Amino acid sequence: MYSSIKSGTVYGLKSFLIDVEIDISNGLPCFVMVGSLNSEVRESAERVRVALKNMGMNIPPSHITVNLSPADIRKTGTGFDMAIALGLLEIMNIIPQSSLRDTLVIGEIGLNGEVKRVSGVMPIVYEAKKNGYTTCLIPIENAMEASLVEGIRIIGVSDLKMVKELLNGNMDVLAEASEENSNDPLNKAVDITRREEKIPDFSDVSGQESVIRGALIAASGNHHMLMIGPPGTGKTMIAKRIPGILPELSDDEKLEVTRIYSIAGKLNIEHPMIKNRPFVDPHHSATVSALSGGGGIPRPGALSLAHKGVLFLDELPEFDRNVIDMLREPLEEKCINISRASGNFVYPADIMLVAAMNPCPCGYYPDHNKCNCSPGAVRRYMGHISGPVLERIDICVAVRKIRVKDLENKNKGISSSKLREKVLRARKIQEERYKGLNITCNSELGVVDLRKFCALGKAESKLAEDICENLDLSARSYHRMLKVARTIADLDESEDIKERHLTEALCYRPQVAGL
């Protein structure tokens, strides 16, 4: 006796549909599972057997073979449990065999028959829709997440008993369950997320006008930024407010980021849609795997979770040197290439890096009244950040100690809404300039693009030449200075890059900023 039910799995960031084939035949009683499975999948046999027993549906003592096809795709996770259980129920004639035609089945089964939430449902449902499936039977806790995929009916179930009742001819209950989870899902999810906690406002920041100016330029051109200053001067405070001045995610970007969080298992059950740009701030004890993605089949790391948002690295020199150096490729390529014995995985990492650090181990250099660090200790501390990483940082700003009169000033600083208006105007100029090109903002300009869009006048060319000769800038540093100057010009709504724009951009280079 044979049954086949369609399920799915995620391999890296790719999703695949899997045929769960079940055969029951005479022979020595056993439960054999094949098809390139990890231990979590193999354990499905015991979970399903006990769950069915506890719900009064005993499996006959027969030779049971479960094959997950195609066999060349590594299967992971617990999402095949429900498909295996329903396949057995089909063979046992407890549910009709035609009831799951054109239906995708995903879900983990508890020993009491409860259908539990699993990770990666959204991309699997999307793959099912592309392949012509009309219905998805999934855990009720995944229903809101799955409903973000439009054009496919989502049925959320809580236990196997409910599934059995739905599939045994009670089509009115089936229709009601599907309607509750499929009406205008994208707009519904977006409306829910609007009640999420608000992003902190820049008006709370006292003083630090120069740092806020640097954050404005960084946000306008999606440039990487480093803040250097003593403790307690507001570096973290400023970093947390940067997502609030960035443009909103487009609908496609929301789904793209939500897909990553779905695979990582980090979606909120009630608010699954990622509406705001991510802000990820790993602790300085984080490993290379924590940032890039870890495991035999890697899960998304902090870099991918910050995709289309901000990755904030506080106390940058305290991170392991290998972790800092690992950032070089993602900052340039906007993706991460991870090689494992099981294959090569490419994860997106289109981030805006914002980092903060103290000027020395104690944090108070060059204030010799407070700083007790030797010159060698300061050099070793700074040496944790390699030159290649520094060259990839466009904006480096010094954060000064806040004066008491700034703290007591009752007039609030510039608000995030006003800063965001400036960012949006600058981004609009860039959108018009790069229309038809695979470029969205100034930080993405290549060498050929720089010649076209950052052409300098005679006086500006002479200034740029003097800057490169006097400061011995590398080609990468020079190009990044041009990109920042282009963004400053956009904020001024200037079609051409002027000398003042070059001069300000120069002030943000690490060599000039004191690092």
- Which domain CATH number covers 265? 3.40.50.300
How many other C-beta atoms lie within 10 A of the C-beta of residue 323? 22
Strand-pair category, 108-109 with 115-116: antiparallel
* Residues 230 and 115 both lie in one domain: no
Residue 210 amino acid letter:
S
Phi, psi of 499 (to 5 degrees): -60, -40
Q: What pLDDT tens digit does each residue of the chain (515 aa) get?
A: 788 999 999 988 889 999 999 999 988 889 999 998 888 899 999 999 999 999 888 888 899 999 999 988 888 889 999 999 999 999 998 988 777 888 999 999 999 999 999 999 999 999 999 999 999 999 999 999 999 998 999 999 988 988 888 888 655 555 554 455 444 433 333 333 333 457 888 988 888 889 999 999 999 999 999 999 998 888 999 999 999 999 999 999 999 999 999 998 888 888 888 989 999 999 999 999 999 987 777 788 999 999 999 999 999 999 999 999 999 999 999 999 888 776 788 889 999 999 999 988 888 887 778 888 888 888 888 888 888 899 899 999 999 887 766 666 666 778 999 999 999 999 999 999 999 898 999 999 999 999 899 989 999 999 999 988 888 888 888 999 999 999 999 999 999 999 999 999 999 987 644 55
The Cα–Cα gap between 482 and 488 comes to 10
Of the residues 441, 462, 478, the one at which a domain ends: 441
Strand-pair category, 135-139 with 103-105: parallel
Angle between helices 416-433 and 475-491 in degrees, nearest 10: 110
* Residues 405 and 478 both lie in one domain: no
The reported pLDDT for the residue numbered 190 is: 35
The Cα–Cα gap between 94 and 167 comes to 9
301: three-class secondary structure by DSSP = coil
* Residues 426 and 451 both lie in one domain: no
The reported pLDDT for the residue numbered 192 is: 34
492: three-class secondary structure by DSSP = coil
* Residues 449 and 422 both lie in one domain: no
User: Is residue 195 assigned to a domain?
Assistant: no
* Residues 248 and 315 both lie in one domain: yes
Residue corresponding to tokens 């005479």:
26
The Cα–Cα gap between 136 and 152 comes to 7
User: Is residue 193 assigned to a domain?
Assistant: no
* Residues 426 and 477 both lie in one domain: no
Name every residue whose Cβ is closer than 8 Å to that of residue 70 and which is 6 or more positions away in sequence: 18, 19, 35
Contact between residue 248 and residue 417 where contact means Cβ atoms under 8 Å apart: no
* Residues 366 and 423 both lie in one domain: yes
* Residues 476 and 393 both lie in one domain: no
Domain of 113?
2-183
Contact between residue 435 and residue 266 where contact means Cβ atoms under 8 Å apart: no
Residue corresponding to tokens 């006959």:
60
The Cα–Cα gap between 470 and 399 comes to 25
Scanning 170-208, the segments in alpha helix (DSSP H) are 171-180, 185-193
User: Is residue 191 assigned to a domain?
Assistant: no
46: three-class secondary structure by DSSP = helix
Contact between residue 515 and residue 396 where contact means Cβ atoms under 8 Å apart: yes
User: Is residue 214 assigned to a domain?
Assistant: yes
Torsion angle defined by CA atoms of residues 383, 389, 395 and 400, in that order, rounded to the nearest 10 degrees: -20
Residue corresponding to tokens 């298992």:
265
Comparing C-alpha atoms, which of 3, 63, 10 is closest to residue 298? 10
The Cα–Cα gap between 4 and 333 comes to 42
Residue corresponding to tokens 């539990």:
116
Instruction: Look up the CATH number of the domain holding residue 51.
Output: 3.30.230.10
The Cα–Cα gap between 480 and 448 comes to 13
**How many domains, the chain?**
3
Provide the token pair at 165: 């009742």
* Residues 451 and 347 both lie in one domain: no
Contact between residue 73 and residue 154 where contact means Cβ atoms under 8 Å apart: no
448: three-class secondary structure by DSSP = helix
* Residues 86 and 14 both lie in one domain: yes
How many other C-beta atoms lie within 10 A of the C-beta of residue 366? 11
The Cα–Cα gap between 67 and 84 comes to 10
User: Is residue 53 assigned to a domain?
Assistant: yes
Comparing C-alpha atoms, which of 158, 154, 152 is closest to residue 181? 154
Of the residues 441, 460, 483, the one at which a domain ends: 441
Of the residues 183, 215, 241, the one at which a domain ends: 183
* Residues 290 and 429 both lie in one domain: yes
How many other C-beta atoms lie within 10 A of the C-beta of residue 346? 13
The Cα–Cα gap between 477 and 480 comes to 5
User: Is residue 197 assigned to a domain?
Assistant: no
* Residues 419 and 487 both lie in one domain: no
Scanning 75-196, the segments in alpha helix (DSSP H) are 81-91, 121-130, 143-146, 160-167, 171-180, 185-193
The Cα–Cα gap between 430 and 428 comes to 5
User: Is residue 162 assigned to a domain?
Assistant: yes
The reported pLDDT for the residue numbered 511 is: 60
Strand-pair category, 279-280 with 395-398: unpaired
Scanning 204-278, the segments in alpha helix (DSSP H) are 209-221, 235-241, 251-264
The Cα–Cα gap between 439 and 446 comes to 9
Provide the token pair at 144: 């809101």
The reported pLDDT for the residue numbered 184 is: 40
CA 364 to chain centre: 35
User: Is residue 385 assigned to a domain?
Assistant: yes
Name every residue whose Cβ is closer than 8 Å to that of residue 415 and which is 6 or more positions away in sequence: 201, 202, 203
Provide the token pair at 4: 């086949």
